[in-house]
Structure 1
Amino acid sequence: MSDFRPPSGFEDVLRPPVDLRRARLTPAVLGRMRGAGYGEAAVRFERVARRVPEVMVKITGRTRDGAHLGAHLAYISRNGALALEGPDGERLDRAGVRNLADDWAAERAMERGRRRDAPASLSVVLSMPAGTDPGRLHDAARAFAGEAFGDRFPYVFALHDEGRHPHVHLTVRMLGRDGERLNPRKADLQLWRERFAHALRERSVEAEATPRRARGVTRKAERTPVRKLRERFEAGRGAAPRVLQDAVRDASEKDPSAAPWLAALRARRERIVRALSAEAVRLGLSAKSEDRRTAEKVVDFLKALPPVETRREAIQRRLEIPERKRRPPDDGRSR
């Protein structure tokens, strides 16, 4: 891949949408994680073109008090059926989980200047698509947690492997050992994604942590609570979530073409396609077979890009389907 030249536009699309300098991590940890998360430009370009699986690092919630913390730890440990692992490799049984919840709650209660609503712990899920080796995923999560939180913030984690979609539940105490409170920003989440992807690659699991736009994805992923409410509604077991009702009403009343950001989304997609198309042509003319294979992967990647579509447009498209079905077929007699 010595002939590789990072295409203009592709470098821009790989750049995270947040300023990594805004992360709340300490400078030493921040610098170490940033350096570990990036590979050679040619290697990363090739991984994106092959649509290597993307890691998911998602904050799923915060526990409010000792009782809530205890219930959450009981959930991720399957009521003691799974041992929770700590920073030093210690494994907690059911009694150990109860003692840990009591200890963390006591530490929280003694915190000076604590706000009454200050959370006790942060809940994070680390996952990859179905088919990822659970053991390597678990090992990568162990390495990630140790580097991200080290001895500053106590944590425990457990692997959930029901045979379909292995993932790791990581619970971190919000109160650090030196009195610092864990308060991650979006930049921290991006750094965590990059570090987790790097840990997986070190264990021979292909993984990436690119922004959505690098994969041709326009819309944000649906939040888990909203998805569960929507699925219950679609199954006839509950009402439609309010956010979905508001989105449908908004889509039925407004013209999506008037949204100023839609033109920007399409212009950015055009820049990406032009840059990658030019690089595919150049690599396709290379004398090296590996460059030509990469060019073919880039072409396949471009062909598979989904259309630029906002959530409002997607809802409008769904709303138009029943109306189309009600229309009589045009047999040409009305002309």
Structure 2
Amino acid sequence: MGRRIVDLREQKPLLDIASYGRRAPGHGRTFTPTERDQIRRTVTRVPEVMIKVTGGGRSVGAVWRHLRYIDRRGGLELETDDGQRLQAKGAERALLEDWELALQEREGKARYSGLPGRKPTKLVHNLMFSMPKGTPPHKLLAAVRHFAQETFALQHRYAMVLHTDQDHPHVHLVLKAVSEQGTRLNIRKETLRQWRRDFAEALRAQGVAANATERAVRGVTRTHQRDGIYRAILRGASTRFEERVQSVASELRSGRVDPGDGKQKLLRTRCDVERGWSYVSELLRRDGDSDLANQVRQFTKEMQPAYVDREWIAADIMRRLRTSALHQPRAR
């Protein structure tokens, strides 16, 4: 089983929560101030940063349309890797020409010509950086700017736009997939983990409380939006998700929901995580930090149930049925 980790130190061994649960009680260990800060942020539920790969254009036209979308057809300011601020009609075309994406597109098409089923490689990666409602937008933008400069400067061209028209501020960043040195960037899970850690650090430097830990370590197993079921039902959309909702509802009527094959792996992961946090609490208590040790114990007790998605869907259906029943007029 793959390990779930909390990264507590930069460029040093990781604190593996699962392994902590398997260590002998007499194992000597103490925590550095950086590690304690990471533990404290996690157990006090400091807001977690989000970096999402929202797609990536495989043609110049697709990249242009996305740029037009994020800069609201020239209504918002595009900030580029060389510090330019672009806010004018046609700015997107000028940017595409500067990045020489048309040439890259032609080379990609030629490379896969005659190979059925092979799509051209991405010209850009579309990223989104976001934080919860209440985060100062200008600090979010400053943190993304610092992250991008440290991560991509003099390598990959990029442009970004701040959006504040929703509850949570977010920054869209369009990143050229091939570097100036001709190296293609492939975004893997570990890439995103490192980016989240670096982004959280950049936010903290701006005075914004931010954390970056794995979902399993925080006891989070839910992967869909809380109101996703309700919105899908209202739309009447015939989607794979809607089919899952109907399948779970049918099983509920029969009295039992089958969680599927992933349940046992999820329970094993949760068991490892809980044992690990228990040992972390013990070590903190030995070090004399009783307050943080108690916070760790309380955090573990308050973790969400270890549900797979089908169980979360069932819980949502039952919650909505109970709410509906409470609002039904009583017969006299």
- Normalized against structure 1, the TM-score is what? 0.74
Query: For 1:221 and 1:233, how far apart are their aligned partners in 2?
Result: 12
Per-residue deviation at 1:64? Answer: 2.8
Q: How does 1:133-172 map to 2 (within 5 A)?
A: 133-162=136-165, 164-172=167-175
Structure 2 residue 309 is the aligned partner of structure 1 residue 270: no
C-alpha contact 1:157 1:168 (8 A) present in aligned 2? yes
Alpha-carbon distance between aligned partners in 2 of 1:71 and 1:209, rounded to the nearest angstrom: 32
Residue 156 of structure 2 contacts residue 177 of structure 2 at CA under 8 Å; is this kept in 1?
Answer: yes
Counterpart contact for 2:58–2:105, Cα < 8 Å? no
Assess, with a 3 A threshold, how the Cα gap between structure 1 residues 15 and 299 changes in structure 2: closer, same or farther.
closer
Q: Structure 1 pair 253/138, CA: closer, same or farther in 2 (3 Å)? A: same
Task: Report deviation, 1:126.
Answer: 0.5
Q: Is the 2:259–2:311 contact (alpha carbons within 8 Å) kept by the matching residues of 1?
A: no
Number of residues paired by the alignment? 291
Q: 1:119 to 1:148 in 2, by over 3 A?
A: same
Letter in 2 for 1:242: R
Identity of aligned pairs, percent?
35
CA 1:120 to 1:187, structure 2 compared with 1: closer, same or farther past 3 Å? same
Which digits, 9 at most, give the CA deviation of each residue in 1:144-168, with x for residues without a partner? 1112222211100011113621110
Give the deviation of 1:245 after TM superposition.
Answer: 0.6
1:108/1:120 contact within 8 Å kept: yes
Q: 2:102 aligns with which of 102, 106, 122?
A: 106
- TM superposition shift of 1:179: 2.2
Contact kept in structure 2, 1:66 and 1:102, CA below 8 Å? no
Give the drift of 1:286.
6.5
Is 95-104 or 105-114 further displaced after alignment? Answer: 105-114
2:84 is matched with 90
Equivalent residue of 2:103, what SS? helix
Alignment of 1:1-12 (within 5 A): none
SS of structure 2 residue aligned to 1:243: helix
Unaligned runs of 5+ in 2: 16-32, 113-118, 324-332
- The within-5 A match list for 1:231-270 is 232-234=231-233, 236-246=234-244, 248-249=246-247, 252=250, 259=260, 261-270=262-271
Are the counterparts in 2 of residues 54 and 210 from structure 1 also a CA contact under 8 Å? Answer: yes
> Structure 1 regions of 5+ residues with no counterpart?
1-11, 17-32, 326-335
Question: Secondary structure at the residue paired with 1:269?
Answer: helix
Structure 1 pair 114/166, CA: closer, same or farther in 2 (3 Å)?
farther
Is 1:55 the counterpart of 2:38? The answer is no
Tell me which amino acid in the other structure corresponds to 2:267. R
Once the two structures are TM-superposed, the CA of residue 278 in structure 1 deviates from its matched residue by: 5.0
* 1:119 pairs with 2:122: yes
TM-score by length of 2: 0.74
**Quick check: 1:215 aligned with 2:218?**
yes
CA contact (8 A) 1:252 1:316 kept: no
